[in-house]
């Protein structure tokens, strides 16, 4: 019973296959952290090895943004992935390199095609001052609104609070889920639910327009959609060696930008 | 009893060696448990010492308190620790007691059926199936819960009027105590059935035969002789089931509602479909924030409560079993 507790952070280790062409000792780049960044990091690692065969060996684990930051600060990994911005309680000496931007969509059940919400409406709904769908213009439903949010430690929660809520507080009666996938599943199975997920998780859900702009990749790239947050790769001190080359490649090469652009917004520069 | 056992006049050297080795292994387990307890309690101490007995009380919203703890300032002197964990403790007790109570009554009769009344061919199927069920990983039950039971309860059992009537206090989406208790019962009952079956089989045949000879029917014999004699084992089965229920985290985190709400029995039938979140599930849900020191210490405090309550559980069961042992069979 007790021994199950450390396993709670289901750490999925994804080994990226490396062509065994070079016999020399390769640099190993290990990463852990945000579940939102993980799919992108895996794609980038694969692309990097295609561009520079045998340049490095990758190990990618997940666990959440805070886990990534803690791991890299303790020297357990080369790079910590984070989907939240740096904050005051983070350990000192960390360098944050921005690798991409990601859209957060407000999603409802597909039987409740809410077309669009203003920031004031999002704040009213998620803070609990509007509690019935009949009070939400554009919703064909009536009935209490079920809020689905993320736990406090989530990077997505952090971004949602900063971008959408501002100083308003998310209602404490909201159900707090531990991952993007669980939020999406809750919204799928509950016609009255509303929540927010990373763009990559919106399949099968209805995305509401935010401030009149649809939540999709094109609008996120053009900068019209405002619900966009940063993805970071965090290193202890300035990145060096293999990690430096990898992060530079992500930020500067055309190939990396093309990979990122399949689902996220690349960073120029 | 058959003939006398070969007399051991002097202690055999290899026996002696085995005794030492096994003794050392057993002591390692003891040291591990003690070490774990000390470790968890040390980690948890700041959370308890800042709150005192209020830690166990109610007051404020426990989720808001956890968020404040997570957002503590960087300065260790200003760490936030305020926590009133009552809704989580209450939720843990509710699901555990609910599931064990339902599971016990079900398991007892199922075990009696298997041992005493089932036709041989049915028994040959039933027993392996029960043991197989006992080994299903909890995450599978959790998946069945969120994919099947939670939507069913949310969309068919709870009416819109009911949802509206409590909308200002709590949202009813199907993630509920009902689903949690039902799945937990399904999870722990097979273990109880297996243990009780073994105990009923261990009742000496001469006892039940004697009762039969006195003219008692099968049911009376089972109920008054076999079940009575198996009571220590039944208590043991309850303890194991309770321990599993207390520590169940993943499944409960998936189905129980993910909100630190204390279901109110005064709400009538709605009480059963109100969401809640037990201690172990709270640890899972917040594990992402373990690196924030005060939150980590708070989660260790939850772990300490679970650890200490399972210790007391074992002690309590030992105490309860003492008077029963005189006429009982050992589990």
Handedness of CA A229, A231, A235, A236 (dihedral sign): positive
CB B246 within 8 A of CB B144: no
Specify the pTM.
0.81
B residues 279-298 lying closer than 8 A (beta carbon) to A = 280, 283-292, 295
**Domain-embedded: residue B20:** no
Choose among A26, A13, A77, A74: nearest CA to A242.
Answer: A26
**Domain-embedded: residue B216:** yes
- Check B154 against A189: CB less than 8 A apart: yes
- Check A174 against B246: CB less than 8 A apart: no
In angstroms, the separation between the Cα of residue B108 and the nearest Cα of chain A is 24
Phi, psi of A58 (to 5 degrees): -110, 140
Interface residue B174 vs chain A (CB under 8 A): yes
State the total domains in chain B.
Answer: 1
CATH number of the domain that B256 lies in?
1.10.3720.10
Best of A3, A4, A7, A8 to substitute, by most chain B Cβ atoms within 10 angstroms, is: A8
CA distance A258 to A126: 35
CA distance A243 to A257: 17
**Domain-embedded: residue B105:** yes
Phi, psi of A107 (to 5 degrees): -120, 145
Q: What confidence tier does B134 reach under pLDDT thresholds 50, 70, 90?
A: confident
B residues 261-280 lying closer than 8 A (beta carbon) to A = 261, 275, 280
- Check B171 against A144: CB less than 8 A apart: yes
B236 CB neighbour count, 10 Å cutoff:
21
Residue B304: give the domain boundaries: 92-325
**Domain-embedded: residue B96:** yes
B residues 28-87 lying closer than 8 A (beta carbon) to A = 36, 61, 63-64, 66-67, 70-74
**Domain-embedded: residue B21:** no
Q: What confidence tier does A88 reach under pLDDT thresholds 50, 70, 90?
A: confident
Q: What is the structure's pLDDT at B5?
A: 54
Question: How far from A96 is each of A216, B141, B264, CA to CA, in Å?
Answer: 26, 40, 47
**Domain-embedded: residue B67:** no
CA distance A102 to A220: 8
Query: What is the pLDDT averaged over residues A126-135?
Result: 91
Q: What is the structure's pLDDT at A155?
A: 84
Best of B291, B299, B300, B308 to substitute, by most chain A Cβ atoms within 10 angstroms, is: B291
**Domain-embedded: residue B34:** no
* Residue among B288, B289, B310 minimizing CB distance to A1: B310
CB B248 within 8 A of CB B280: yes
In angstroms, the separation between the Cα of residue B75 and the nearest Cα of chain A is 8
* Beta-carbon contacts below 8 Å between A and B: 140
DSSP state of A89: T
CB A13 within 8 A of CB A42: no
Q: What is the structure's pLDDT at B6?
A: 53
**CA atoms in the 13 A half-sphere facing the CB of B171:** 27
In angstroms, the separation between the Cα of residue B6 and the nearest Cα of chain A is 42
Q: What is the structure's pLDDT at B100?
A: 96
CB A81 within 8 A of CB A31: yes
Interface residue A15 vs chain B (CB under 8 A): no
B37 pLDDT higher than 60? yes
Buried residues in A51-61 as b, exposed as e (16+ CB within 10 A): eeeebbbbbbb
CA distance A80 to A126: 30
CB A63 within 8 A of CB A9: yes
Query: What is the pLDDT averaged over residues B87-91?
Result: 94
**Domain-embedded: residue B70:** no
Q: Which two tokens stand for residue B170?
A: 């709590």
pLDDT tens readout for residues B59-78: 888 988 998 898 888 778 88
CB B144 within 8 A of CB B256: no
Query: What is the pLDDT averaged over residues B93-107?
Result: 95
Interface residue A125 vs chain B (CB under 8 A): no
ipTM over 0.85: no
* Residue among B36, B254, B291 minimizing CB distance to A67: B291
- Check B307 against A2: CB less than 8 A apart: yes
Q: Which two tokens stand for residue A87?
A: 């904050």
């Amino acid at each position: 019973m007790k021994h199950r507790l450390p396993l709670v952070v289901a750490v999925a280790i994804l080994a990226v296959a490396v062509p065994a062409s070079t016999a020399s000792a390769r640099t190993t780049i290990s990463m852990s952290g945000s579940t939102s960044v993980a799919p992108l990091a895996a794609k980038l690692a694969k692309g990097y090895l295609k561009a520079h065969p045998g340049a490095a060996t990758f190990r990618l684990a997940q666990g959440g943004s805070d886990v990534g930051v803690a791991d890299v600060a303790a020297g357990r990994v080369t790079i910590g992935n984070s989907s939240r911005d740096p904050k005051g309680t983070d350990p000192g000496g960390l360098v944050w390199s921005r690798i991409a931007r990601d859209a957060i969509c407000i999603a409802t059940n597909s039987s409740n095609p809410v077309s669009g919400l203003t920031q004031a409406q999002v704040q009213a709904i998620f803070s609990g001052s509007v509690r019935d769908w009949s009070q939400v213009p554009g919703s064909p439903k009536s009935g209490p609104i079920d809020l689905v949010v993320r736990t406090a430690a989530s990077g997505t929660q952090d971004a949602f609070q900063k971008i959408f809520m501002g100083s308003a507080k998310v209602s404490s009666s909201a159900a707090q889920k531990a991952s993007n996938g669980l939020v999406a599943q809750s919204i799928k199975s509950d016609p009255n639910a509303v929540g927010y997920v990373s763009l990559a998780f919106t399949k099968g859900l209805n995305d509401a327009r935010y401030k009149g702009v649809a939540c999709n990749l094109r609008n996120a790239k053009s900068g019209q959609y405002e619900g966009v947050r940063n993805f970071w790769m965090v290193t202890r001190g300035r990145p060096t060696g293999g990690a430096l080359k990898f992060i530079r490649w992500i930020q500067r090469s055309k190939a990396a930008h093309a990979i990122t652009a399949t689902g996220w917004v690349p960073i120029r520069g | 009893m058959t003939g006398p056992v070969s007399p051991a006049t002097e202690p055999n050297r290899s026996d002696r060696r085995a005794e030492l080795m096994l003794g050392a292994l057993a002591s390692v387990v003891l040291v591990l448990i003690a070490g774990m307890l000390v470790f968890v309690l040390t980690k948890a101490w700041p959370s308890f010492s800042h709150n005192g007995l209020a830690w166990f009380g109610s007051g404020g919203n426990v989720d808001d308190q956890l968020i404040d703890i997570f957002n503590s300032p960087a300065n260790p002197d200003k760490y936030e620790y305020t926590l009133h964990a009552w809704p989580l403790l209450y939720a843990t007790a509710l699901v555990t007691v609910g599931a064990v109570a339902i599971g016990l009554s079900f398991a007892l009769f199922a075990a009696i059926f298997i041992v005493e009344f089932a036709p041989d061919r049915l028994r040959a199927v039933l027993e392996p199936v029960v043991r197989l069920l006992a080994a299903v990983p909890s995450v599978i039950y959790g998946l069945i819960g969120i994919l099947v039971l939670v939507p069913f309860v949310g969309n068919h059992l709870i009416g819109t009027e009911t949802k509206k009537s409590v909308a200002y206090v709590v949202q009813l989406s199907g993630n509920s105590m009902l689903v949690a208790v039902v799945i937990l019962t399904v999870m722990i009952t097979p273990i109880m059935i297996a243990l009780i079956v073994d105990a009923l089989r261990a009742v000496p045949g001469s006892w039940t035969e004697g009762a039969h000879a006195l003219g008692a029917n099968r049911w009376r014999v089972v109920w008054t002789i076999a079940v009575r004699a198996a009571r220590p084992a039944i208590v043991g089965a309850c303890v194991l089931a309770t321990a599993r229920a207390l520590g169940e985290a993943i499944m409960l985190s998936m189905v129980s509602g993910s909100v630190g709400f204390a279901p109110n029995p005064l709400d009538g039938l709605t009480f059963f479909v109100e969401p809640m979140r037990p201690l172990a599930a709270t640890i899972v849900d917040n594990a992402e924030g373990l690196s924030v020191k005060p939150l980590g210490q708070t989660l260790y405090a939850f772990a300490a409560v679970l650890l200490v309550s399972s210790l007391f559980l074992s002690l309590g069961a030992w105490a309860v079993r003492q008077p029963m042992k005189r006429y009982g069979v050992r589990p």
